[in-house]
């Protein structure tokens, strides 16, 4: 059945009401646990005094968030503001050299923050992978890139290369791995795009411009070289109507989200509580379920804000960066699950789509997903949690395809065609509900810990059965229907002409083809059926 299957309005209103009440209910339990446990000994390292006018302590467990928006906020703002200033001056005076100015400023900023030996290390990797790209053998470029990336994940290569960084400041560890990891991925993108180029080779200067673009250098996101090359070298710098207004609005929204998250950290310690297993064992089922869900939502918010700030700067430079990741609240299929759209697009372009083709053949899909998650494991760093997370997500992605193939066979296909679109949507939502919680459990494994994921699964499926299980699944079912309704509305906006035609006013007997339930339906674009 199509994505445009509608449900009665009162049913959608009921689902929204249940969902809102459930969110407030779970948040209330988390607030109670946070308030009663603020002075626990295990909280001392991460729950610290917050804003004095709140009179409450603040959850500071996420070092990355605190680094961006508290500890090193001034340093990051200073570096990005300088980039914006010089980029604007160059765009006004000599727009044809703006990509060169981006490179020079980025190179100087990296040199200032990490030292000339670190710059030498980065340049050596760029020159090595550029030299290999001249051979124009795709598999060789890929193997060389992965081997280079592996040198930052295993000893003694990591310690040796870390010695190239000067100083002992707090950000040293983060900037070292961020800059080196993203550099290798960008160099691999350059090498693979150079292999696809039929006439000649790209200049090494284009690689350096691409790699040393400061907003993307340390923290991403990754924009593939083909897109960056076209956008950074375009001569027409005119903006669309209301574009600057939209960029300014996005910046204000990100600022507002940062303030809201910091305020919530004073009332709900969603990052610190999962680290205290003794406390979790005495917490209610609803507090545990809420913690699992809110941890994933927070991780999406963090990625959306951090990439959003960088994307705002890059949009000022007339670039079109990767969009923020899709919110976990809007996910119920493994095929759309990701927390970094830049890495996701990189993997899809060079591995998943390249090996998987149309993603219809079971064997090709299995090979494509295994290779994709193999690269992902290397990118994240091989360890027990990452290996378990990759295996479960790889299995989930393939299981979706196997299930879709199985239920497209007879007699299931005939059963679905015989029922109404609304009923088909409800039945699909039941299966999507189970899928949603597998996505949640698989990903809190990576974001929190294996013990926390096991505890949540045990409470949700075993100890809490049947009351907690049934209620949680019903609330999730309501969430899935709300998501589907939003997707339906977006599909009607994107393709309004494909609505089913109005029934004829004639009372003449219909032809056999007109009586078919599929005849009145338009031929849908496969991409719009992806979520179904």
Which pLDDT score, from 0 to 100, does residue 522 have?
A: 39
CA distances from 207 to 123, 133, 212, 216 (A): 10, 11, 9, 14
Look over the chain and give the mean of its residue pLDDT values, rounded to a whole number: 86
Average pLDDT over residues 469-486: 94
Average pLDDT over residues 186-193: 96
Residue 338: phi and psi, rounded to 5, are -165, 155
- pTM assigned to the model: 0.85
Which pLDDT score, from 0 to 100, does residue 497 have?
A: 59
pLDDT in tens, 378-400: 998 888 899 999 999 999 888 98
Average pLDDT over residues 112-117: 88
Which pLDDT score, from 0 to 100, does residue 168 have?
A: 65
Average pLDDT over residues 164-185: 82
- Contact criterion met (CB below 8 Å) for 232 and 315: no
**β partners of residue 59:** 47
Which pLDDT score, from 0 to 100, does residue 114 have?
A: 87
| pLDDT beyond 80 at 30 | yes
pLDDT in tens, 225-277: 999 999 998 877 888 888 899 999 999 999 999 999 999 999 999 999 999 99
| pLDDT beyond 50 at 176 | yes
pLDDT-based confidence at residue 94 (cuts at 50, 70, 90) = confident
Average pLDDT over residues 56-84: 86
| pLDDT beyond 50 at 46 | yes
Which pLDDT score, from 0 to 100, does residue 501 have?
A: 47
Three-state secondary structure string covering 319-354: CCCCCCCCCHHHCCCHHHCCCCHHHHHHHHHHHHHH
Which pLDDT score, from 0 to 100, does residue 520 have?
A: 36
- Contact criterion met (CB below 8 Å) for 392 and 413: no
Side-chain-side CA neighbours of residue 34 (13 Å): 25
Query: Is there a cis peptide before residue 192, judged by omega within 30 degrees of 0?
Result: no
- Contact criterion met (CB below 8 Å) for 479 and 424: no
Query: Is there a cis peptide before residue 411, judged by omega within 30 degrees of 0?
Result: yes
Which pLDDT score, from 0 to 100, does residue 417 have?
A: 87
Given its phi and psi angles, is residue 93 left (phi above 0), alpha (psi -120 to 50 degrees) or beta?
A: alpha
First and final C-alpha spacing in the chain: 8
């Amino acid at each position: 059945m199509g994505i445009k299957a509608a449900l009665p309005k009162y049913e959608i209103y009921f689902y929204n009401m249940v969902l809102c009440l459930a969110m407030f209910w779970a948040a209330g339990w988390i607030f109670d646990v946070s308030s009663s446990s603020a002075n626990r000994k295990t909280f001392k390292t991460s729950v610290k005094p917050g804003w004095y006018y709140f009179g409450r302590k603040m959850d500071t467990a996420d070092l990355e968030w605190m680094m961006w928006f508290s500890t090193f906020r001034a340093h990051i703002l200073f570096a990005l503001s300088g980039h914006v200033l010089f980029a604007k001056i160059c765009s006004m005076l000599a727009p044809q050299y703006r990509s060169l100015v981006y490179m020079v400023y980025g190179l100087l900023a990296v040199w200032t923050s990490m030292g000339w030996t670190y710059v030498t290390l980065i340049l050596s990797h760029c020159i090595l992978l550029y030299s290999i790209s001249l051979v124009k053998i795709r598999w060789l470029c890929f193997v060389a890139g992965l081997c280079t990336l592996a040198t930052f994940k295993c000893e003694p290569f990591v310690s040796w290369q870390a010695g190239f960084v000067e100083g002992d400041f707090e950000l040293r560890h983060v900037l070292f791995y961020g800059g080196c990891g993203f550099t290798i991925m960008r160099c691999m993108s350059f090498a693979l795009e150079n292999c696809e180029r039929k006439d000649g080779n790209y200049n090494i200067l284009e690689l350096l411009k691409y790699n040393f673009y400061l907003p993307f250098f340390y923290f991403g996101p990754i924009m593939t070289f083909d897109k960056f090359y076209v956008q950074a070298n375009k001569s027409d710098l005119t903006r669309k109507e209301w574009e600057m207004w939209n960029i300014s609005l996005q910046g204000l929204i990100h600022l507002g989200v940062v303030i809201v998250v910091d305020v919530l950290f004073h009332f709900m310690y969603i990052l610190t509580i999962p680290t205290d297993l003794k406390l979790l064992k005495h917490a209610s089922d609803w507090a545990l379920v809420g913690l699992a869900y809110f941890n994933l939502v927070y991780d999406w918010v963090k990625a959306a804000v951090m990439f959003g700030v960088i994307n705002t700067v890059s949009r000022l430079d007339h670039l079109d960066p990767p969009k923020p990741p899709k919110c976990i609240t809007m996910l119920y299929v493994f095929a759309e699950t990701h927390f970094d759209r830049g890495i996701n697009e990189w993997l899809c372009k060079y591995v998943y789509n390249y090996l998987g083709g149309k993603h219809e053949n079971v064997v090709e899909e299995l090979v494509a997903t295994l290779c994709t998650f193999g690269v992902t494991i290397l990118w994240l760093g091989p360890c027990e949690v990452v290996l378990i997370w990759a295996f479960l997500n790889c299995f989930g992605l393939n299981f979706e395809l196997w299930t879709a193939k199985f239920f497209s066979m007879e007699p299931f296909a005939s059963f679905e065609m015989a029922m109404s679109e609304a009923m088909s949507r409800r039945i699909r939502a039941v299966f999507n509900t189970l899928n949603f919680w597998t996505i949640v459990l698989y990903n809190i494994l990576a974001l929190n810990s294996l013990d926390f994921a096991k505890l949540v699964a045990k409470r949700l499926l075993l100890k809490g059965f049947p009351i907690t299980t049934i209620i949680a699944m019903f609330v999730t079912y309501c969430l899935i229907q709300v998501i589907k309704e939003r997707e339906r509305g977006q599909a009607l906006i994107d393709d309004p002409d494909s609505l089913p035609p109005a029934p004829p006013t004639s009372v003449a007997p219909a032809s056999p083809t007109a009586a078919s339930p599929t005849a009145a339906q338009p031929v849908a674009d496969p991409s719009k059926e992806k979520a179904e």
